[in-house]
Amino acid sequence: MDPTITLAGKEYPIPLLAPKQQRIIGPALGRLRGMKVDAMTTEQFDDLLECVFLAVQRGTPDFSKVAFMDSPIGTRELFEAIPVIVQQTGYMKKTEAQDSQGEAQ
Q: 45-64: string of b/e by CB count within 10 Å (b at 16+)? A: eebbbebbbbbbbbbbeebe
First to last CA, the chain: 27
Residue 47 has pLDDT above 60, yes or no: yes
Q: What is the pLDDT of residues 59-99, one digit of tens each?
A: 999 999 999 999 999 999 999 999 999 999 987 665 554 55
- The whole-number pLDDT of residue 91 equals 76
Q: Which amino acid is at 92?
A: M
For the chain, helix, strand, coil in percent to 5 are 65, 10, 30
- The whole-number pLDDT of residue 93 equals 63
Q: What percent of the chain has pLDDT over 70?
A: 87
Instruction: Please check whether residue 15 is in contact with residue 59, taking contact to mean a CB–CB distance below 8 angstroms.
Output: yes
Residue 34 has pLDDT above 50, yes or no: yes
Q: How far apart are CA 31 and CA 34, in angstroms?
A: 8
- The whole-number pLDDT of residue 88 equals 96
- The whole-number pLDDT of residue 36 equals 84
Residue 74 DSSP symbol: -
